[in-house]
Amino acid sequence: MATKHEQIIQYIETLPVGEKLSVRTIAKNLNMSEGTAYRAIKDAENIGLVSTIERVGTIRIERKSKENIETLTFGQICKIIDGDILGGKKGLDKTLSKFIIGAMQREAMERYISPGSLMIVGNRNDIQEFALEKGAAVLITGGFDTDESIVHLADQVEMPILRTTYDTFTVATMINRAMTDQLIKKEIMLVEDIYTPIDETKFLSLDDTVFQYRNLNTESTHSRFPIVNHNMRLVGIITAKDILGKADTLSLERVMTRDPIVAKTHMSVASVAHRMIWDGLEVMPVVKDNLQLLGIISRQDVMKAMQLAQRQPQVGNTIEDQVVENLSLTNAEEGDSLPAYRFRITPQMTNSLGTVSFGVLSEVLASTTKKILYTLQKRNAVIEQMDIYQLKMIQIDSVIEIRSKILELGRRSSKLDVEVYLENSLVSKAIVICQLMEKS
C-alpha cells in the first residue's frame, strides 16, 4: 500500500497541467495533515511536477524529461527577471524557444518571430500585439504598463505577457545566463542516468537464508545483494564477508549489514563516486525517499560514466572550465619533479580590493592539482581537503606560477604540497589531500 506521501504525489500527477493547488486543498481533499501535504508538494516541485510562481501560486506543470532540461518555461523566466504577470497565465508552463529584442520596425522583425519565442520590448503596444498574434510571449521592460486589450489578447492566445523594471540589455543578459546554466546542468550525469533498475537487479528478502544467498551468488557470480522487506523497502545489504562460516539455515536478517549507505536518483555520479571510494564500496542500493528499492549502482558503472564524462564536450562554460583554459604549462624549477603551471589573474577574478578572490585561488590550486595527478598517473582525482595560506596579496593582472611536490602517493589517495609564486616570491601555500579514482 502506498504511503500518504506517495498518495499525494500520485494525486498531483492526475491533475491537469495548469491546475492551481495549495497545501490546504490537498490536505482537505485527501484527508491528511497540512504538514504531510506541504512536504509532498515540495517533493513534487523538486521532481518537476509543480511550480510555485510569485503572485500566482503553485500550479501543476508538464514534467520535463532530462533531454529537455536546456529549455526554460516562461514561468521560470518570470522568476529570473523578478517580473510581474500581466496576462496569459495559462501559458506560463510553456517553454521558451528563443528570445527577440524588439528594436526594429514591425516589418523587419516579422521574420524572426515564431511560436514559443519571447519578444522583449518597451512601451511599443503595436509590437506587443503583433508578437502575441504570431504566437510569441511578450516581456515589457522598463516597468511600463500595457493596454487592457493586449492583456485580453494574451489570455485569449494563452501566451504570457510579463513586465520587469530592468532594461532590455540587463534582461537579455539574465535570460542568456539562465539558458547557459541549464545547459551546464544537462551535462551533469546523475545516478538516474546509469543505475541498474529493479527489474534487472538481483536482491534477497529478509526471510531468506544463507543457503539462498549462496545459490544466488553462484547463479549470478555477484557477491553483494540488497535485502528488502515485504514492502520492497531496503533493510540491509549482504556480502560474502557477512556469511563467512555461517550455517546455511541461518536467516539473513541475523547476518546482514543494517542501514547501508544508499544513493538517490537525483544525486550526481561524481558525488556517489566520491562516497564509494572513501568507504570502499563496490555496490550502493538506489532507493526512493521512503527507502523503497529502485535498483543498484556499482563502482564499475560509476567509473565508466566518469571516464565517459571526461571525454564529452562541455556545452556551458563553468568556472572550473574557465580556470583550466587559462592554466598554461611552464618550465619547472631545477630539482622539481612535477610540472609547473602559469596563471593570469584577470579583473573578473578579483574581489572588491582588487586582489585575487579566495574562491578563484582555491579553484586554481584544485584544478592544478588534478591536472598534475592525471599527468602523473592517468587517474582522475577528487579533492578531499585543502588548507590554503595566503602569505601576500595577489594583485589584479598578476601572473602567478604554481609548483607542487608529492608528500604522499597511495593507491587511493595522495597529499601534495602546492606553492604559488609571484616573480619568484612565495605568495601562497596549500596542502591538498585527494582521493584517486580507479582506472576504467
Average pLDDT over residues 213-221: 89
Judge whether residue 197 has pLDDT over 80.
yes
- Could you give the CA distance from residue 372 to residue 288 in angstroms, rounded to a whole number? 39
How confident is residue 314, by pLDDT bands cut at 50, 70 and 90? very low
Residues contacting 419, CB < 8 A, separation 6+: 402, 403, 404, 426, 428, 429, 430
Per-residue model confidence (pLDDT) at position 374: 86
Block residue for cell numbers 536546456: 70
- Could you give the CA distance from residue 163 to residue 201 in angstroms, rounded to a whole number? 51
Q: At what angle do helices 299-311 and 269-279 cross, to 10 degrees?
A: 130
How confident is residue 82, by pLDDT bands cut at 50, 70 and 90? confident
Judge whether residue 360 has pLDDT over 60.
yes
Of 287, 216, 206, residue with least CA distance to 252: 206
- Could you give the CA distance from residue 67 to residue 362 in angstroms, rounded to a whole number? 33
| CATH 3.10.129.10 is right for the domain spanning 319-436 | yes
For the entire predicted model, the pTM comes to: 0.46
Residue 190 in grid coordinates: 546523475
Per-residue model confidence (pLDDT) at position 332: 61
Q: What are phi and psi of 289, to 5 degrees?
A: -60, -30
CB atoms within 10 A of CB 383: 16
CATH class of 191-308: alpha beta
Residue 143 vs residue 186, higher pLDDT: 143
Q: Per-residue pLDDT tens for 37-60?
A: 888 888 787 767 787 765 567 888
Per-residue model confidence (pLDDT) at position 108: 81
Residue 432 in grid coordinates: 591538498
How confident is residue 95, by pLDDT bands cut at 50, 70 and 90? confident
Per the CB < 8 A criterion, the answer to whether 292 and 231 are in contact is yes
Per-residue model confidence (pLDDT) at position 119: 92
- Could you give the CA distance from residue 166 to residue 168 in angstroms, rounded to a whole number? 7
Q: Per-residue pLDDT tens for 97-116?
A: 788 888 888 888 888 888 88
How confident is residue 290, by pLDDT bands cut at 50, 70 and 90? confident
Per-residue model confidence (pLDDT) at position 67: 42
Percent of residues, the chain, with pLDDT higher than 90: 37
Residue 33 in grid coordinates: 495533515
CA 437 to centroid of chain Cα atoms: 21
How confident is residue 180, by pLDDT bands cut at 50, 70 and 90? low
CA 71 to centroid of chain Cα atoms: 15
Helices H / strands E in the chain, number of each: 14, 23
Judge whether residue 86 has pLDDT over 90.
yes
Q: Per-residue pLDDT tens for 367-419?
A: 999 989 888 887 778 888 899 999 999 999 899 999 999 999 888 889 999 99
Architecture of the CATH domain 4-60: Orthogonal Bundle (1.10)
- Could you give the CA distance from residue 140 to residue 87 in angstroms, rounded to a whole number? 12
Average pLDDT over residues 218-241: 91
Residue 173, SS3 per DSSP: helix
Per-residue model confidence (pLDDT) at position 66: 45
How confident is residue 96, by pLDDT bands cut at 50, 70 and 90? confident
Average pLDDT over residues 276-291: 86
Per-residue model confidence (pLDDT) at position 114: 85
Residues contacting 225, CB < 8 A, separation 6+: 202, 203, 204, 213, 216, 237, 238
**159 Rama class: left (phi>0) / alpha (psi -120 to 50) / beta:** beta
Where are the chain's structural domains? Answer: 4-60, 74-184, 191-308, 319-436
Of 68, 125, 118, residue with least CA distance to 97: 118
Q: Per-residue pLDDT tens for 60-71?
A: 876 544 444 446
Judge whether residue 437 has pLDDT over 50.
yes
Per-residue model confidence (pLDDT) at position 72: 76
Fold of 74-184: 3.40.1390
> Can you give the length of the chain in residues?
440
Residue 114 vs residue 203, higher pLDDT: 203
Structural Rg of the chain based on CA atoms: 28
**DSSP states of 74-92:** HHHHHHHTT-EEEE-GGGT
Judge whether residue 337 has pLDDT over 80.
no
Per-residue model confidence (pLDDT) at position 365: 94
Q: Per-residue pLDDT tens for 120-144?
A: 999 999 999 999 999 999 999 999 9
Judge whether residue 253 has pLDDT over 50.
yes
Do the domains spanning 4-60 and 74-184 agree at the CATH topology level? no
Mean pLDDT of the chain, nearest integer: 84
Judge whether residue 318 has pLDDT over 70.
no
